[in-house]
Amino acid sequence: MLLGSPRRKAFTLIELLVVIAIIAILIGLLLPAVQKIREAANRMKCTNNMKQFGLGFHNYESANQVFPPGYIANNSTFNGVSDNSEASWAYFILPFVEQDSLYNTVDYSIVRTNNGFGSSASQTAAVRTTRISIMTCPSDDPNAVFAFGGGYIRGNYDANGGIGPQISPAPNGLDHTVQGVFYNVSKTRVADITDGTSNTAFMSEVINPKGDDMRGVRGYPEGPIYQHNNTPNSGTDNVRSGYCVSDPMAPCTATYTAYNNRSIILTARSRHTGGVNVLLGDGSVRFAKNSVSLAVWKAIATPQAQTGESIDTNF
């Protein structure tokens, strides 16, 4: 006589499908939470990077009594000397963000006479092609690194040039419709920021589209400066023909053909949800929402008050 029922040796197909469906649902519920946690960590990393730049800018200012120049255009004079280097703030700041060894690979007395950054000269190769973590936001595409034929590293943090377009300056001339803190051969002092450092943008983020796109280039005047013409993550960027790779989150149009007929507008953009990080002149980092008004966004671009300007720090 048999006692009890036969022992079941395996799940039925229906039971197995139910288990798989439950696991899939749990993964579907968990994945957005994991992505939110990862993005929160990425945004915090970006914030910390920008705070380091804020400290670097002020340490530079303490050592030199001025903030670093936005860039040095060809045929300029800087510190009383003819300068054709086409270096940008991203080079000058290196010793103040713990990158002394990289900075020291350049003999500046040579590059200022031979267009060392603009011509991809061997004397600037290390600075132009070395990626350092402080320049990169982990929320952006990690594979979108080089531009200008692979000769220039890109990054995700640009200095505030003001309200553009950024044009090719006459020797030592101004290069924006309304100047920001950083521009050609700029020597902005804390005392020049009469709007107050807490009301003035020093830096924000840019997206690096994958491909040969100039936005975010570190060692050349056409990539490391952004403008406040458009609110964060809006509008279309003006970029040099041949170096405009339109991205759904960073659209662009080719509006000029060479360094000497520039007409650049680079908008603050990020892959963070809802806005961009902004480094202010007091060293703090704020998150500017896409919904910030254009009037407020333009107001924080300028170190001095403009006619009709109204600063609202609750952006």
Helix residue ranges per DSSP H, 198-300: 294-299
- Confidence label for 34 from pLDDT (cuts 50, 70 and 90): low
Residue with tokens 């056409």: 222
Distances from the Cα of 207 to the Cαs of 39, 138, 272, 292, in angstroms?
Answer: 15, 11, 10, 19
Structure tokens at 283: 């060293």
Quick check: 18 pLDDT over 80? no
Residue 17 counted as domain residue: no
Q: Are 215 and 250 in contact (CB under 8 A)?
A: yes
Quick check: 1 pLDDT over 60? no
Mean pLDDT of the chain: 90
Residue 13 counted as domain residue: no
Residue type, 102: L
Stated as kind and residue range, the H or E segment containing 252 is strand 252-256
Q: What is the pLDDT of residue 35?
A: 62
Residue 15 counted as domain residue: no
Q: Return d(Cα 69, Cα 67) in angstroms, integer.
A: 7
- Confidence label for 8 from pLDDT (cuts 50, 70 and 90): low
Q: Return d(Cα 105, Cα 123) in angstroms, integer.
A: 8
Give the pTM.
0.87
Stated as kind and residue range, the H or E segment containing 92 is helix 89-92
CA of residue 179 relative to chain centroid, distance: 18
Q: Return d(Cα 113, Cα 123) in angstroms, integer.
A: 12
Preceding omega of 165 cis (within 30 degrees of 0): yes
Identify the weakest region by mean pLDDT among 32-41, 108-117, 212-221, 256-265.
32-41
Residue 9 counted as domain residue: no
Q: Are 155 and 90 in contact (CB under 8 A)?
A: yes
Structure tokens at 129: 């092609």
Q: What is the pLDDT of residue 171?
A: 67
Residue 79 counted as domain residue: yes
Give me the percent of the chain exceeding a pLDDT of 90.
72
Helix (H, G, I), strand (E, B) or coil at 139: coil
- Confidence label for 43 from pLDDT (cuts 50, 70 and 90): confident
Quick check: 36 pLDDT over 80? no
Number of domains in the chain: 1
Residue 314 counted as domain residue: no
Per-residue pLDDT, averaged over 208-233, amounts to 95
Expressed in angstroms, the distance from the first to the final Cα of the chain is: 83
Q: Are 92 and 85 in contact (CB under 8 A)?
A: no
Quick check: 32 pLDDT over 60? yes
Helix (H, G, I), strand (E, B) or coil at 147: strand
Residue 313 counted as domain residue: no
Quick check: 170 pLDDT over 80? no
Quick check: 16 pLDDT over 90? no
Structure tokens at 47: 């914030």
Identify the weakest region by mean pLDDT among 20-34, 91-105, 109-123, 200-214.
20-34
Quick check: 44 pLDDT over 70? yes
Q: What is the pLDDT of residue 25?
A: 77
Tens of pLDDT along 288-315? 999 999 999 999 999 998 776 666 666 6
Q: Are 192 and 303 in contact (CB under 8 A)?
A: yes
- Confidence label for 141 from pLDDT (cuts 50, 70 and 90): confident
Q: What is the pLDDT of residue 313?
A: 60
Q: What is the pLDDT of residue 292?
A: 95
Residue 139 counted as domain residue: yes
Half-sphere exposure of 51 (CA within 13 A, CB side): 10
β-bridge pairing 201-205 and 157-163: antiparallel
The more confidently predicted of residues 309 and 229 is 229
Q: What is the pLDDT of residue 314?
A: 66
Residues 6+ apart with CB under 8 A from 87: 71, 72, 108, 111, 112, 116, 117, 219
Q: What is the pLDDT of residue 29?
A: 67
Q: What is the pLDDT of residue 37?
A: 65
CA of residue 249 relative to chain centroid, distance: 14
Report the 10 Å Cβ neighbour count for 196. Answer: 14
Q: Return d(Cα 214, Cα 246) in angstroms, integer.
A: 11
Identify the weakest region by mean pLDDT among 26-35, 119-128, 159-168.
26-35
Domain extent at residue 65: 29-299
The more confidently predicted of residues 41 and 177 is 177
The DSSP string of 258-282 is SGGG-EEB-B---SSTTEEEEEETT
